Amino acid sequence: MVKTLYQQPHYDTGKPIFATIRGLMRFAATLGYDQGERKSLDSDINESDGRPFARHDQTFDLMLLLALAETKSSDIFLSDDDEQLITIFEEYAQAGFEILERWLKARPDDLYGDQSILNGLATLGYIDERAASTIDDVSESVEF
């Protein structure tokens, strides 16, 4: 799935849907949070180094917002330990990846994943399919 969304160039644009793995992870974490799902990482998954994400302002800001929303306490900002931030982010991202995987499996004919994502977002009410004659019309105005 990651290869499809992050590495595989789209036939129309020549670029992958997500330009960076960070962008894909941010999307997945936001999706997981939106759906109220957090999933623990499998024990056989290697621990990732959170420093590259912490050095990226947009990603670190999202990590802080998700941790604040999850803990409902501003004390999260007082801690020097980023482990809790990283864990919350990773668990929401894991849930989001599982949702994305379901969307992709529902559209096996979608080789690039863009239509699967757009259909999933339409199902959640983020895209009004009635505003365009087809989902393809919507995809022209959406950039991931």
Which of 118, 90, 122 lies closest to 26, judged by CA? 90
pLDDT for residue 131 is more than 60: no
Chain length of the chain: 144
Instruction: Quote the CA–CA distance of 97 and 35 in Å, as a whole number.
Output: 12
Average pLDDT for the chain: 82
Identify the pLDDT of residue 133: 38
Is residue 24 within 8 A of residue 1, CB to CB? The reply is no
Does residue 136 surpass a pLDDT of 90?
A: no
Decide if pLDDT at 65 tops 80: yes
Nearest residue to 94 via CA among 40, 18, 26: 40
3-class DSSP assignment, residue 54: helix
The reported pTM is: 0.81
pLDDT (mean) for 47-71: 77
Q: Please determine, for residue 143, whether its predicted confidence score (pLDDT) is greater than 80.
A: no
Tell me which amino acid residue 99 is: I
**Per-residue model confidence as pLDDT tens digits over 27-37:** 999 999 999 99
- In this predicted structure, the answer to whether residue 132 has a pLDDT above a threshold of 50 is no
